[in-house]
Structure 1
Amino acid sequence: MMLQLYDPKPIMMKHFFLIPLLICLLLSSCSTPESFKNFDSETWKNDRYACDNKRMQLVEDFEKIKQDLIGKKEYVIRNVLGKPDNEELLEGNQRNYYYYLEPGSQCTERNKMSEANRVGVRINAIGKASEIFYKDPIQKIKPE
């Protein structure tokens, strides 16, 4: 009597097409949602700590997407706004992400919170944005 060993080739070939499909799904799940495509995310991300003063020019566009960010997962926030300039750990596994809007002392002392205006994004315990706020309210210029 001959002992037949298990041959994994048929199973591997059968599921081989799933690997590219899974990779494609993973890559698309981490991309920027369509509703944020009109926001200049790259300029925002490249102006770390707002030291180049480019983020303030994007505030009007940020206001347009601000409400759409509420309820989004943390990875979506990071895809749109980038790594936060500062982070604050709160009770109950909540965090505040801070993104500076104007140059200030954070440009030279990155380990301290600056008094410069900034956007705060509260990430709740389940990893979703629950609130977006400014340190100082943004003054909108109304046309006369």
Structure 2
Amino acid sequence: MKKINSLLYLSVIVLAVACGSPESMKDFDSTTWKADKNACKGDRAKLAPEFEKIRKDMVGKKEYIVRNVLGKPDKEELLERSQRIYYYYLESGEQCQNTSTLSEASRLEVRINSLGKVSEVNYNQPQKLKKPE
């Protein structure tokens, strides 16, 4: 019985550690990002330079890591062969009044392949964003 409890305890610890964010993304203010749904408060625009530092690290990560770091996407597009694109707005725009359509506001696009891994992380209208120094 003691072995079963030990195995169960160890399994829970391994699972908890595995579901967390990778070390390279620990410095990103995920809480503020998630709280600014559709970027209507303007907090995501301020976090864009901070996000740029971890953007390339997201490629190859599993979908659950994206959701842990960035939260539920503002919009999602299902493509053929079970691929998806997650959209995260970076500035306020039409999406703050009408959430049913995809706005032309600057946004982050995270492409997830059929294996559930991030294959691309791009910006739509990146000229509006400040690059980190």
> TM-score when scaled to structure 1?
0.86
Tell me the distance in 1 between the aligned counterparts of 2:4 and 2:132: 60
Tell me the distance in 1 between the aligned counterparts of 2:131 and 2:26: 25
Q: Does 1:40 align with 2:29?
A: yes
Q: Which moved more, 1:77-86 or 1:14-23?
A: 14-23
User: Does structure 1 conserve the Cα–Cα contact (< 8 Å) formed by 2:52 and 2:131?
Assistant: no
Give the RMSD, CA atoms, in angstroms. Answer: 1.6
User: Does structure 1 conserve the Cα–Cα contact (< 8 Å) formed by 2:58 and 2:66?
Assistant: yes
Instruction: Choose which of 86, 101, 126 in structure 2 pairs with 1:112.
Output: 101
Higher Cα Rg, which structure: 1
Partner of 1:123: 112
Tell me the distance in 2 between the aligned counterparts of 1:49 and 1:32: 22
User: Does structure 1 conserve the Cα–Cα contact (< 8 Å) formed by 2:50 and 2:132?
Assistant: no
Partner of 1:21: 10
**Residues 21-100 of structure 1: pairs in structure 2 closer than 5 A:** 21-100=10-89
Give the deviation of 1:14 after TM superposition. 2.8
CA distance 1:138–1:61, shift in 2 (3 Å): farther
CA distance 1:97–1:62, shift in 2 (3 Å): same
Tell me the distance in 2 between the aligned counterparts of 1:16 and 1:34: 29
User: Does structure 1 conserve the Cα–Cα contact (< 8 Å) formed by 2:109 and 2:124?
Assistant: yes
Q: Which moved more, 1:126-135 or 1:12-21?
A: 12-21
Tell me the distance in 2 between the aligned counterparts of 1:87 and 1:68: 21
Query: Which consecutive aligned stretches of 4+ in structure 1 deviate over 2 angstroms post-superposition?
Result: 138-143
Gaps of 5+ in 1: 1-11
Alignment identity in percent? 53
Count of matched residue pairs? 132
Partner of 2:43, secondary structure, is: coil
Point out which structure has higher relative CO (alpha carbons under 8 A, 6+ apart): 2
CA distance 1:86–1:13, shift in 2 (3 Å): same
Gaps of 5+ in 2: none
Tell me the distance in 1 between the aligned counterparts of 2:3 and 2:9: 13
